[in-house]
Amino acid sequence: MAETIWFKEFSVEQANSRGKGTMFEHCEVLISEVGPDYIKGTMPVDHRTKQPRGILHGGASVVLAEGIASLAGNMVLNPDTHFAVGLDVNANHLRPVTKGHVEATARPQHLGKKTQVWEILLHHEGKLTCVSRLTLAVLARE
Protein backbone atom coordinates (compact mmCIF):
# COMPACT_ATOMS: atom_id res chain seq x y z
CA MET A 1 0.00 0.00 0.00
CA ALA A 2 1.24 3.49 -0.86
CA GLU A 3 2.16 5.85 1.95
CA THR A 4 -0.81 7.92 3.05
CA ILE A 5 -1.55 11.03 5.09
CA TRP A 6 -4.25 9.28 7.12
CA PHE A 7 -3.70 8.49 10.81
CA LYS A 8 -5.09 5.02 10.18
CA GLU A 9 -6.61 3.30 7.19
CA PHE A 10 -10.35 3.79 6.71
CA SER A 11 -12.83 2.68 4.08
CA VAL A 12 -15.44 4.53 2.07
CA GLU A 13 -18.07 2.67 4.10
CA GLN A 14 -16.57 3.85 7.39
CA ALA A 15 -16.40 7.42 6.12
CA ASN A 16 -20.04 7.32 5.01
CA SER A 17 -21.18 5.92 8.34
CA ARG A 18 -19.90 9.09 10.03
CA GLY A 19 -22.51 11.10 8.09
CA LYS A 20 -25.57 9.39 9.57
CA GLY A 21 -27.95 11.88 11.19
CA THR A 22 -26.03 14.92 9.89
CA MET A 23 -26.19 17.44 7.05
CA PHE A 24 -24.46 14.78 4.92
CA GLU A 25 -27.47 12.50 5.24
CA HIS A 26 -29.94 15.35 4.60
CA CYS A 27 -28.17 16.44 1.40
CA GLU A 28 -27.24 12.85 0.41
CA VAL A 29 -23.49 13.56 0.43
CA LEU A 30 -21.60 10.32 -0.11
CA ILE A 31 -17.89 9.68 0.10
CA SER A 32 -16.98 7.92 -3.13
CA GLU A 33 -13.21 7.43 -2.89
CA VAL A 34 -10.38 7.65 -0.39
CA GLY A 35 -6.93 8.00 -1.93
CA PRO A 36 -3.51 8.25 -0.29
CA ASP A 37 -3.75 12.05 0.00
CA TYR A 38 -7.28 12.97 -1.04
CA ILE A 39 -10.94 12.21 -0.44
CA LYS A 40 -13.81 12.46 -2.94
CA GLY A 41 -17.49 12.91 -2.33
CA THR A 42 -20.65 13.46 -4.36
CA MET A 43 -23.93 15.27 -3.83
CA PRO A 44 -27.09 15.33 -5.96
CA VAL A 45 -28.36 18.53 -7.48
CA ASP A 46 -32.05 18.33 -6.56
CA HIS A 47 -34.81 20.00 -4.54
CA ARG A 48 -32.67 19.86 -1.37
CA THR A 49 -29.62 21.51 -2.90
CA LYS A 50 -31.01 23.99 -5.44
CA GLN A 51 -31.84 27.63 -4.91
CA PRO A 52 -35.11 29.17 -6.20
CA ARG A 53 -33.66 29.89 -9.67
CA GLY A 54 -33.19 26.14 -10.19
CA ILE A 55 -29.40 26.02 -9.89
CA LEU A 56 -27.16 24.48 -7.27
CA HIS A 57 -27.19 26.67 -4.17
CA GLY A 58 -23.77 28.08 -3.28
CA GLY A 59 -24.34 27.09 0.32
CA ALA A 60 -24.93 23.50 -0.76
CA SER A 61 -21.60 23.54 -2.60
CA VAL A 62 -19.99 24.74 0.62
CA VAL A 63 -21.74 21.97 2.60
CA LEU A 64 -20.12 19.43 0.27
CA ALA A 65 -16.72 21.13 0.27
CA GLU A 66 -16.49 21.81 3.99
CA GLY A 67 -17.99 18.46 4.87
CA ILE A 68 -15.54 16.27 3.00
CA ALA A 69 -12.52 18.39 3.92
CA SER A 70 -13.54 18.42 7.61
CA LEU A 71 -13.88 14.65 7.53
CA ALA A 72 -10.48 14.37 5.86
CA GLY A 73 -8.91 16.80 8.31
CA ASN A 74 -10.04 14.71 11.23
CA MET A 75 -8.84 11.50 9.61
CA VAL A 76 -5.22 12.70 9.57
CA LEU A 77 -5.31 13.22 13.35
CA ASN A 78 -5.06 10.81 16.26
CA PRO A 79 -8.70 10.86 17.47
CA ASP A 80 -7.63 10.08 21.02
CA THR A 81 -5.63 13.31 21.31
CA HIS A 82 -6.86 15.83 18.70
CA PHE A 83 -9.79 16.92 16.53
CA ALA A 84 -10.30 19.58 13.87
CA VAL A 85 -13.06 22.16 13.46
CA GLY A 86 -13.80 24.69 10.74
CA LEU A 87 -12.17 28.08 11.15
CA ASP A 88 -12.73 29.66 7.73
CA VAL A 89 -14.26 28.56 4.45
CA ASN A 90 -14.53 30.33 1.12
CA ALA A 91 -15.85 29.34 -2.27
CA ASN A 92 -15.74 30.73 -5.77
CA HIS A 93 -18.74 29.52 -7.77
CA LEU A 94 -17.62 29.32 -11.39
CA ARG A 95 -20.51 27.83 -13.34
CA PRO A 96 -24.13 26.89 -12.62
CA VAL A 97 -25.29 23.31 -12.25
CA THR A 98 -28.96 22.42 -12.74
CA LYS A 99 -29.09 18.62 -12.59
CA GLY A 100 -27.18 15.44 -11.86
CA HIS A 101 -24.45 15.29 -9.25
CA VAL A 102 -21.44 17.34 -8.28
CA GLU A 103 -18.22 15.65 -7.24
CA ALA A 104 -15.73 17.22 -4.86
CA THR A 105 -12.09 16.34 -4.27
CA ALA A 106 -10.33 17.59 -1.15
CA ARG A 107 -6.53 17.69 -0.88
CA PRO A 108 -4.44 19.18 1.89
CA GLN A 109 -2.37 22.29 1.20
CA HIS A 110 -1.03 22.52 4.77
CA LEU A 111 -1.15 20.02 7.63
CA GLY A 112 0.22 21.82 10.66
CA LYS A 113 0.11 21.26 14.40
CA LYS A 114 -2.46 24.03 14.96
CA THR A 115 -4.10 24.52 11.55
CA GLN A 116 -4.82 22.69 8.33
CA VAL A 117 -5.69 24.17 4.93
CA TRP A 118 -7.61 22.10 2.38
CA GLU A 119 -8.37 22.86 -1.27
CA ILE A 120 -11.63 21.43 -2.55
CA LEU A 121 -12.50 21.35 -6.25
CA LEU A 122 -16.08 20.66 -7.34
CA HIS A 123 -16.82 19.29 -10.80
CA HIS A 124 -19.94 18.50 -12.80
CA GLU A 125 -19.61 16.36 -15.92
CA GLY A 126 -15.87 17.00 -15.97
CA LYS A 127 -16.15 20.80 -15.72
CA LEU A 128 -14.92 22.80 -12.76
CA THR A 129 -17.89 24.43 -11.01
CA CYS A 130 -16.49 25.64 -7.68
CA VAL A 131 -13.11 26.20 -6.02
CA SER A 132 -13.19 26.20 -2.24
CA ARG A 133 -10.66 26.44 0.57
CA LEU A 134 -11.20 25.35 4.15
CA THR A 135 -9.02 26.23 7.13
CA LEU A 136 -9.38 23.93 10.12
CA ALA A 137 -8.25 24.60 13.66
CA VAL A 138 -6.57 21.60 15.26
CA LEU A 139 -7.57 21.29 18.91
CA ALA A 140 -6.36 19.03 21.70
CA ARG A 141 -8.87 16.79 23.43
CA GLU A 142 -9.22 17.40 27.15
Residue type (1 letter), 95: R
If phi > 0 it is left, if psi is from -120 to 50 it is alpha, else beta; for residue 140 that is: beta
CB-count burial class (<10 Å; 0-12, 13-18, 19+) for 49: buried
Q: Give the N- to C-terminal CA distance of the chain in Å, as an integer.
A: 34
Active site residue 9: no
Q: Which member of 25, 28, 33, 66 is catalytic?
A: 66
Catalytic residues: 66
